[in-house]
Structure 1
Amino acid sequence: MKKLLLLGFFCLTSFVGFSQNVSLSGYIRDASNGEGMIGVSIYVQELQTGTQTNAYGFYSITLPPGTYTLNLTSIGYGQQTQKVSLSESLTRDFEMNDEASQLQEVVVKAEREDANVKSLEMSVNKVEMKTIKKMPAFMGEVDVIRSIQFLPGVSSVGEGASGFNVRGGGIDQNLVLLDEAPVYNSSHLFGLFSVFNPDAVKDVKLIKGGIPANYGGRVSSILDVRMKEGNSKKPEFTGGLGTIFSRFAYERPFLEGKGSFIVALRRSYIDVLAKPFLNEDLKGSQFYFYDFTAKGNYKINNNNTVFLSGYFGRDVFGADFGFNWGNATTSLRWNHVFNDKLFMNTTVFYSNYDYLLDSDLNNEEDQDSFRWESNIENYSIKPDFQYYINPNNTLSFGGQSIYYRFNPGQAEAVSGGESRSIGLPDKYAVESGIYIGNEQKVNSRLSLQYGIRYSDYRYLGKGNKVLLNTEGSVAGEQKEVTDIIQVGQGELIQQYGNWEPRFSANIGLGRNSSIKVSYNRLAQYIHLLSNTTASSPLDVWTPSSNNIKPQISDQVALGYFQNFDDNNYEASVEVYYKELQNQIDYTRNANLLLNPAVEADLLSGDGRAYGAEFYLKKNRGKFNGWISYTLARTERLVDGLNNNEWFPARIDKMHNLSLVSIFDTGKKWSFSGTFNFSSGTPASFPTNKFIWQGIALPHNYYDTRNSYRIPASHRLDLSATLQNKHAFFKKGESEWVFSVYNVYNRRNPFSVYVRQNEDNFAQTEAVKYSVFASILPAVTYNFKF
């Protein structure tokens, strides 16, 4: 702690020669709805320097007194020029008009055109909602998670899989944030759709490497999703009627424009459409999801603004026996401008993910039933500060504290009318962190971003402390439980602490090219237990303990960035290497559900991931889009598995090729297409079999892990959008979206498994399982007025 304070003091006192300068600060907002704009470039012509707005649209720049010409640039909003005279520090807000309709072109991003070359960010992808809404989507419905899987370094284990994988990381190693609150399951309908309502999403940012010091808690990536703040200019309705579900959003100002809000609803109706075709035994089936998203903001005065946002969603699935799961998040944020140099955002959030298994889905009083529920719940406070020292240095510092409560499972079984309760005690933990970092422009060719984070984790009672015999256990086998000790409320069971340094550098090679390098260390203290092919809603979150060490990752990345044709094209090549410590694996036949000593069934090993990512994007014109290719490997080494040798991880994919194309005719029609090719994922199969009483028993004689691969996958999706002149009652605007998923009817394998032949139990056979095995056309009607 003292070292970190001394570092902060050194950073603050190393820039003292600027007292004669003055500051220009304020907010930049969208003129059509009053939303704060993220990443707008403010460029000072006379000094050839500038800055960008932060995540709330705030900017600050320190300059010598004088008169300056400011260029405000954001693709999709054109460029605005402003004259400003500075004799003393000045607060000045700006509004920018959306010029996309005048340009008659689809805009892929909203930043400086050369931001990919000039900025310090590497291994970062931003996709505008305008672009996401143009891409073909499953059943015609726009989806954030599916869209980012077309970016380099991002994949999934197969079609219909929940979550996403980044540079060899598991889905639990991605920190998914919705207005800074973590979302523990980002999927609806087992991965078919994401929980993010596109009508309420403002900005999507994926960070794969070079992660700044203000982020912590996961070892793979950050997906930072920001919600709209609500139209502060006028009331507005948006929505859509689709094949699977319908959407509706309403936003408007209140208190004479000092505040605004947005509410957005979605509800699927597969159950309603299917009911007439079901037999009597299935009439009570339930198969649907819904979610509710809301956000409001209020400007108290020029220096204080508060935001309140929330998400509540649930999936319900089943007939006689069913289950449901859902997320709930609430974020309260306070923006405070201390002065023209110091900006603060303090966030308080609540997040909960729970699931329920229930044999009495229709609420009938059965004599025999079973009910099981589990959840992870946390509360947090997170103050973040930005100090704009001068045009060449922006200091960031702050901290966070998170309180976790884990419910591994509580069950109630009823047999013959008699009830019996079984379950595991709750688990508790506190994770805290403090950080400091600086973004520094050394000269016209060299920029640096460096910082450090210290994280402290404490596993607490009330609960059970499991003691294992690790020295006498056989590698790869279940460990012996020597004792289970009851621990009192708040008593410390285990404590961990980690220093997490971060560093990035941009070396300019010329006006249109640069080399970037980054390194970061990350620590993760919570784990998702799942030994299935793909993650399911029933997987269990568990904290680090005296037997489960925190995951640690060290990643280094090197990239070359080049723009062509007056920034119309941008290209990049990145290579990375990541080392992972304390990766969880499982003993044979591990029991992960309602196991009081589940830690005895867990193994710990190392991981490594390395690869190269190639990216080419066209930013402007009627025809644009991108192509990405990733060549990568992801491996694990676990004592006692695979003869103690490295083996491919379940998520390993060597080749991943994606193409996204968007064509806007400039009239009523626009067209888009996406194509993806990826290698098959690894799998373990038996090498021989035993025949016992006429039944074949598969066996892996060589004890190999993931030595086979399922066939490769590829798919083409197309869509066409027809713009209408009006929506309802000759007001607003609307569009018809026609899409075809899996155009050439490819049956992509999700997994391959071995089973006994139905006609001859002495024979075994391999079966290819596909989630989507046919063409899926869809029509969606979207409106806005």
Structure 2
Amino acid sequence: MFMYRMLLLFFALLLPGRPAVAQSATPGQTPDPLGKVTLSGYLRDAANGEALVGASVFVKSLAVGSTANEYGFYSLTLPRGTYVITYTYLGYEGQETTLTLTTSQTRSVRLALRGVQTGEVVVTGQRPDQNVQSTEMSVSRLDLKTVKLMPALLGEVDVIRSIQLLPGVSTVGEGASGFNVRGGGVDQNLILLDEAPIYNASHLFGLFSTFNPDAVKDIKLVKGGIPAQYGGRLSSLLDVRMKEGNSQRLGVSGGVGLIMSRLAVEAPIVKDKGSFIVAGRRSYGDLFLKLIPEQKDNQAYFYDLSAKANYTLGDKDRLYLSGYLGRDVFAFGKAFKNTLGNRTGTVRWNHVVSSRLFANVTGVVSKYDYGLGVPEGNQAFDWTSNIVNYSLKADFNYYRTPQSTLNFGTGAIYYTFVPGRVTPGNAGSIFRPLALDEQQAVEYHAYLDNEQTFSPRLSAQYGLRISLFDYLGSGTVYDYEGPDGRQKTPVNPRQFGAGKVIKRYPNLEPRASLRYSLTETSSLKASYNRMVQYIHLVSNTTASSPLDVWTPSTNNTKPEHADQLAVGYFRNFRDNAYEASVEVFGKRMDNQVDYINGANTLLNQQLEAELLYGRGRAYGVEFYGKKNEGAFTGWVSYTLSRSERQINGINNDAWYVNKYDKTHYLSVVGMYQLNPRWTFSSTFSYSTGIATTFPDSRYSYQGLIVPNVNGDVRNNYRVPTYHRLDLAATREGKTDPSRRWHSSWTFSLYNAYARRNAYSIYFRQNEANPLKTEAVRLSVFGSVLPSASYNFNF
């Protein structure tokens, strides 16, 4: 019934577009009887054919314009007449052309990169006043050229580490997977790679991200004002788009570093019609281990492969195929082995229904799995777990007028969860087969979103997302009884057959953003989001680990809800060379998941007996200042915030700071281009230490001193303040117009002044005096880490 209603809604949304579809004319056809015609097409890079996401089309005489969508498509409806059309994209040579529009026309434009002036670096890829004039707020875009100039761990450029330098974004420490946005958990970020969800976006336990910079085109982080098209997480959207491949000529790029090497190849399939890119990376720590006799049987490496192809089927149709495969492998001889990885596949079909209506149909499969075990002996076993989702969706952009763009669509996601499965490694193993019940669920959605310009000063984007989640059989379902704060007792078991709906959760998710221009260079913005999250990451450790378990909302575990309100002031200076903003946000959350003290989250058939649920809140202010042009560029961001939970059964039922809370977070990024061949950069990070629970007493048990926490307290202390300075220098090779080969060297110092930042604090008996308990600081990196990497392309 719900899907039937959603289909009715879907077709109802199409109805407003039908008259425009019938009346829009292609060259040579009859003009629109209302005196309006539509100019549409694609904006692409002249050198390689890549879509220019966010490029601008503007008609100065009418003060109207449009921007290209994620695939470079634009549409602009105008009265019949003669106009000067301007096409622009920051960092590219603009084009102006005079057109006499009597009928609708298709005009695709290729923009060429602007020649970089000596001593000048541009650190953004969007229009110069985008931060002031657009309705978007709490949105950050990173240009890969900028990311590649910044200091990196062991010389390897990393997308996730780069976004942690933006306001409102933090991490619980080095070696921690994922990132935290405005006080939320790592599972509350929707991470998409070409529209496929990534469930663990890290390699080597958080030291590197899954995204190969050679394959990435665009990085967009949305912390508030999230459009109705996206849902399923509470805190943020990280939208990563892969390159499409060079449609003009063969291109090869890569690099060799201290711990990994990478290579990317792109080329046309048919020039100007189709192209592909294949990019791979592999670390080689395991190769060095083989040189050490006592370590030769150990393994520690990762690899990933990114690929994408596209082909133009006709004037109105384009097909995209993309995929990702990545894996980490760790082994300690024959004693232990651990593997984990992501796999995704995306198929997309773009169709220009008319000059005003653009359609994108997407099919996605995504899988995250991990395994661990002991290969041999009487303790041999294999433990596996995974989450898989299959999704199909259709999204539409309808350019009603230059002042109004409708975005609408519908889709569904089918989930399967394998929380854990253990099998004996051999016939003599002491382990017996054990498998937790598999779980299934389906999530449906439909949305309608309108971008509306009411006047030159006032614009808005508002919409509604309808979502529904079905928790499905087969399996045995329990209710749980007992006091809060203690393990509960399963009661009332019930059996459900395959595909039967055990529990259904419908939700409405309104969204709205508003922009009011105070002057040509300043504006006020406000946004409201209601987000719903139906799947949860079960982890009772401070930092996310590969062994964390994804689980759906059930009859006991309800969907998480968040309402976020943000208000901001945005201002540009000196012809957009400088920009500044301040944003205040507040977020209220329901059905937050936590755990009883001493909870067992691994291979627990009655896991929900150990879970607790309650409220959350986060609030703060973010300051951001950025210099976009000149020899010296960079930004400063500072976040003052608070993130808390209140859950009955924890901390005497009182509010407590959660494990992601950081009161102060400061980042400073600077880049200086000395000359065309040398660029220097540095980053500095400072933050409050993470909240943790420390013992406040001890007792003796059979001669052992045991640390103890008196009372029901949670996160009563903090580890020491975190701060770190990184430095880097990039030396470009000589430029020879007669050769396509270009190379560069990057040298960096990570943790330049050797700060021993605490990843965690643990307690133990002093070896010299067993009656004395001592606190021990565990640091992932306690010294300077120098590195060098060689990069090339042709």
TM range (shorter): over 0.9
Q: Is 1:521 equivalent to 2:530 in the alignment? A: yes
1:563 equivalent in alignment to 2:563: no
Is this contact kept in 1: 2:118–2:676, CA < 8 A? no
Match of 2:314 in 1: 301
1:125-144 CA-partner distances (Å, limit 9, x unpaired): 00101110111100011000
Q: 1:729-771, CA deviations, whole angstroms, 9 ceiling, x for partnerless residues?
A: 9541010001110111111111112223334444322111110
Query: Closer, same or farther in 2 for the Cα pair 1:272/1:685, shift >3 Å?
Result: same
Cα separation, partners in 2 of 1:18 and 1:456, compared to 1, 3 Å: farther
Q: Which residue of 2 aligns with 1:162?
A: 177
Q: Match for 1:603 among 602, 612, 628?
A: 612
- In structure 2, which of residues 285, 300, 308 is the aligned counterpart of residue 287 of structure 1? 300
1:667 aligns with 2:676: yes
Distance 1:760 1:728, change over 3 A: farther
What is the TM-score with the length of structure 2 in the denominator? 0.95
Aligned to 2:27: none
CA separation of 1:13 and 1:732: change in aligned 2, threshold 3 A = closer
Indicate yes or no: 2:642 matched with 1:630: no
Distance 2:233 2:118 in 1: 41
Q: Provide the residue aligned with 1:733 in structure 2.
A: 742
Displacement after TM superposition at 1:102 (Å)? 4.5
Aligned match for 2:371, one of 336, 339, 356: 356
C-alpha distance in structure 1 between counterparts of 2:768 and 2:12, whole Å: 72
Name the residue aligned to 2:157.
142
Q: Secondary structure at the match of 2:433?
A: strand
Give the match for residue 332 of structure 1: 347
**CA-to-aligned-CA distance 1:282-322 (integer Å, 9 cap, x gap):** 32101000001000000001100000000000000121202
Cα offset for 1:164? 0.2
1:20 shift after superposition: 2.2
Aligned to 2:26: none
Q: Does 1:114 pair with 2:129?
A: yes
Q: CA RMSD in A?
A: 2.0
**1:388 corresponds to which residue?**
399
Q: Is residue 549 of structure 2 the alignment partner of residue 534 of structure 1?
A: no
Confirm whether residue 751 of structure 1 aligns to residue 760 of structure 2: yes
1:614 aligns with 2:623: yes
Deviations 1:500-535 (CA, angstroms, capped at 9, x unpaired): 000000001011000000001000000000011211
1:453 matched to 2:465:
yes
> Which residue number in structure 2 is paired with residue 648 of structure 1?
657
The match for 1:322 among 323, 337, 352 is 337
Decide which moves more: 94-103 or 485-494. 94-103
Alpha-carbon separation, structure 2, partners of 1:443 and 1:485: 59
Deviates more, 1:757-766 or 1:585-594: 757-766
The answer to which of 719-728 and 146-155 deviates more is 719-728
Structure 2 counterpart SS, 1:131: helix
- Which residue of the other structure, out of 225, 249, 264, is the alignment partner of 1:249? 264
Q: After superposing the two structures, state which structure 1 stretch, 7-16 or 262-271, moved more.
A: 7-16
Q: Indicate the residue corresponding to 2:731 in structure 1.
A: 722
Q: Cα gap change, 1:92/1:6 in structure 2, threshold over 3 Å: closer, same or farther? A: closer
**What is the SS of the residue equivalent to 2:711?**
coil
Report if the CA contact (8 A) 2:762-2:775 is conserved.
yes
> What is aligned with 2:435?
423
For 2:767 and 2:53, the matched residues in 1 are separated by 59
Match of 2:390 among 360, 371, 379: 379
Partner of 1:36: 51
User: CA separation in 2, counterparts of 1:488 and 1:727?
Assistant: 69
Q: From the superposition, tell whether residues 160 and 308 of structure 1 become closer, same or farther in structure 2 (CA, over 3 Å).
A: same
Gaps spanning 5+ residues in structure 2: where? Answer: 24-31
Is the counterpart of residue 267 in structure 1 residue 282 in structure 2?
A: yes
Tell me which moved more, 695-704 or 231-240: 695-704
Helix, strand or coil at the partner of 1:46 = coil
SS of residue paired to 1:190: helix
Offset, 1:191: 0.4
Q: 2:477: which partner in 1? A: 465
How far apart are 1:278 and its partner, in Å?
4.4
Q: What is the CA distance between 1:727 and its match in structure 2?
A: 9.9
| Distance change >3 Å, CA 481–CA 508, structure 1 → 2 | same
- Structure 2 residue identity aligned to 1:134: L
The alpha carbon displacement at 1:245 in A equals 0.2
Q: Does 1:171 align with 2:186?
A: yes
- Selected match of 1:773 from 772, 776, 782: 782
Please list, as runs of the form range in 1=range in 2, the aligned pairs for 1:215-254 lying within 5 A after superposition.
Answer: 215-254=230-269
Matches within 5 A, 1:496-511: 496-511=505-520
Which deviates further from its counterpart, 130-139 or 694-703? 694-703
AA paired with 2:127? Answer: R
Query: Match for residue 64 of structure 1?
Result: 79
Q: Deviations over 1:456-482 (max 9, x none)?
A: 00000122212212xxx1121111111
1:436 maps to what in 2? 448
Between the two proteins, what is the percent identity of the paired residues?
A: 53
Say yes or no: does 1:208 pair with 2:219: no
Measure how far apart 1:692 and its partner are.
2.3
5 Å matches for 1:678-689?
A: 678-689=687-698
Deviation at 1:85, TM superposition (A): 1.7
Moved more, 691-700 or 539-548: 691-700
Structure 1: how far apart are the matches of 2:736 and 2:207? 29
Partner of 2:706: 697
Shift of 1:103: 6.4
Are the equivalent residues in 2 in contact too, given 1:100–1:106 (CA < 8 A)?
A: no
Q: Secondary structure at the match of 1:273?
A: helix
User: What is the DSSP-based 3-state SS (H/G/I as helix, E as strand, rest coil) of the residue aligned with 2:313?
Assistant: strand
Residue pair 2:144, 2:216 contacting (<8 A) in 1 also: yes
Contact map agreement 1:500 1:523 (CA 8 A) in 2: yes
Could you say which residue in structure 1 is the equivalent of 2:561?
A: 552
- Secondary structure at the aligned position of 1:146 is classed as helix
- What SS does structure 2 have at the residue aligned with 1:230? coil
CA displacement at 1:492 relative to structure 2: 1.0
CA distance in 2, matches of 1:728, 1:773: 45
Asked whether the 8 Å contact 1:26–1:60 carries over to 2, the reply is yes
Q: Find the aligned partners of 2:759 and 2:424 in 1 and give their Cα distance.
A: 34
1:629–1:657 Cα contact (<8 Å) kept: yes
Distance in 1 (CA, whole Å) between partners of 2:663 and 2:191 is 25
**Gaps spanning 5+ residues in structure 1: where?**
none
Q: Distance in 2 between matches of 1:454 and 1:647?
A: 33
Moved more, 2-11 or 150-159: 2-11
The worse-fitting range, judged by mean Cα deviation, of 652-661 and 108-117 is 108-117
Partner residue of 1:410? Answer: 421
1:18-97 to structure 2, matched below 5 A, reads: 19-97=34-112
User: What amino acid maps onto 1:243 in structure 2?
Assistant: L
TM-score, normalised with respect to structure 1: 0.96
Q: Give the conservation status (yes or no) of the 8 Å contact 1:231–1:253.
A: yes
Rounded Cα–Cα distance in structure 2 between residues aligned with 1:159 and 1:784 = 31
Q: Secondary structure at the match of 1:620?
A: coil
Aligned residues: 776
Native 8 Å contact 2:289 2:296 kept in 1: no
**Per-residue deviation, residues 652-676 of structure 1 (Å, max 9, x unmatched):** 0000000111111232111111111
3-state SS, counterpart of residue 212 of structure 1: coil
Q: Report Cα offsets for 1:99-137 as digits up to 9, x if no partner.
A: 153465222112221110000000000010111011110
> Which residue type is aligned with residue 353 of structure 1?
Y
